[in-house]
Amino acid sequence: MRDTKREMHDFILKSYKEAIHDFSYRNDELVERGASIIEKYFFEDAQIRCLSDEFKMTEANVSNTINSYLEHLSNVAKHGGYISDEINLISTLLSARRSARKAYKECVKVIDQCKKEFNQEVVFSISDHIEKLYDLNIISKRTLNSLYEEFKLSPHPSHNPDITLANIIYVPKTWFYHIPNMGAKSIAEVISFVDKYPIQGRVIPTKNDIRQVLKKANIETNMEEDKRAIIDAYYLTDVSVDTICKQLKTNSRSIHTFIGSLLMKVCEAACENRWELSDLITVSSMIDLYSVRRGTYSFDAFNKYTRYTAGKIRDL
C-alpha cells in the first residue's frame, strides 16, 4: 500500500528546496522550516497568524513563503517538469485546503490543465504536420506562426508539406527560449506537448545510448571514482539529485556544476566531430534532463550548443 502521507512530505521537502534554489546543507534548517509551513498551512488548516507565532516570522513573510512555493509549482508544471504522479501529489496538496490566494488559484488552474493533458487519448505520429497541434487547440496561432517564422515557412499549411512534429520533439527544449517573438506562454505550450503526449515513431534515448555518447566524448578517461559515481547515478540510473547528495555526501550545487561542465564537453565533442542524428538526439535528451533537474529550461550556458544541436537535428 502506498504511503501517500510520506510521499507528500518527501515531495514538499524536495520541491521547496528547489523553489528556494537551495544548494547547500547549511540551509537545511531553512528548508525544513519552509516545508513545515507548507504542510501545516495545507494539511492542518493553520492560520497565518498562528504560523507567524510558531515560526517567529512576520505574517507577510509567512504569506510570501506560501505564495512563492505555489508560484514555483506552477512554473515547473507549465514547463513539463513534473511526471503524472507528482502532478497528482500537487493536486492532493491543493485540494487539502481552499484558498483565495492568486497564486493558489493559478496553481489549481495549471495543475488541472496538466491532469487533462496526462489523461488525454489523442495519439500523434512524428510524421504529423505541426499545424495539427493548432487544429486541436494545443498551441495557439501565435505559437504556430513563431515556429513558421523560425523554420522560414509560409503561414499557409499547404505550402509546408514536410514540416512535421519531428522538427520540434527532438531539439533541446532550451532552444525554444531563443526563438524570436516566442513568449513564455508559447514556449510552455510546445514543451507541454512534447513532454506529455504520446507520439508514435518517436525515438527515446536509452541508458545505453547515453553510455555510448559519453564514451564517444571520451568523458570517463582518467576520471576520479567519485566523479564516475555521479555520472552513473545522474544519467545511467534513475536516482534523484537529493539521493545522490546523500549517497555521496555532497551538495546539489556540486552535482549541478559537475554535470554542467560534463555536458559542455559532450556538446563540444558533438559539434567538433559532427555526430550522427541518433547521438545528437541523445545529447538533446541529456541537456533536457539537466534543465529539468535545475528547475528551468531557460538556461543560457548551452545557448551556442543547443542552437547547433537543434539545427543539425532538423537538417538530418
Residues 6 or more apart whose Cβ sits within 8 Å of residue 27: 20
Tally of domains in the chain:
3
For residues 187 and 213, membership in a common domain is answered with no
Same domain, 107 and 135: no
**pLDDT tens digits, the chain, 316 residues: what are they?**
345 688 888 899 888 888 876 444 446 788 889 999 999 999 888 999 999 999 999 999 999 999 999 999 998 888 777 887 888 889 889 988 888 899 999 999 999 888 877 766 567 888 888 888 888 878 888 888 888 888 765 445 555 446 788 888 888 888 888 887 788 888 888 988 888 788 888 888 888 888 888 888 887 666 778 888 888 888 888 777 888 888 888 888 888 888 888 888 888 888 888 788 888 888 888 888 888 887 777 666 666 667 777 777 777 6
Separation of alpha carbons 151 and 145, rounded Å: 10
Domain identity same for 9 and 111: yes
Domain boundary (103, 119, 135) is at 119
Same domain, 196 and 226: no
> Is 168 found in the same domain as 108?
no
Task: Check whether residue 91 and residue 31 sit in a common domain.
Answer: yes
- Left, alpha or beta for 221 (phi > 0: left; psi -120 to 50: alpha)? beta
Shared domain for 10 and 115, answered yes or no, is: yes
Question: Range of 190's domain?
Answer: 124-200
Strands (E) in the chain, as ranges, are: 124-125, 199-200
Domain boundary among 88, 119, 150: 119
- Nearest of 141, 139, 145, 147 to residue 189 by alpha carbon: 139
Q: Which of 267, 282, 283, 265 is nearest to 219 (CA)?
A: 265
165, 200, 235 - which closes a domain: 200
Are 178 and 261 in a shared domain? no
Residues 304 and 252 in one domain: yes
CA–CA separation, 78 and 195 (whole Å): 11
Do 80 and 184 have their domain in common?
no
Nearest in space to 303 (alpha carbons), one of 264, 254, 272, 266: 264
* 161 lies in the same domain as 103: no
One domain, residues 115 and 142: no
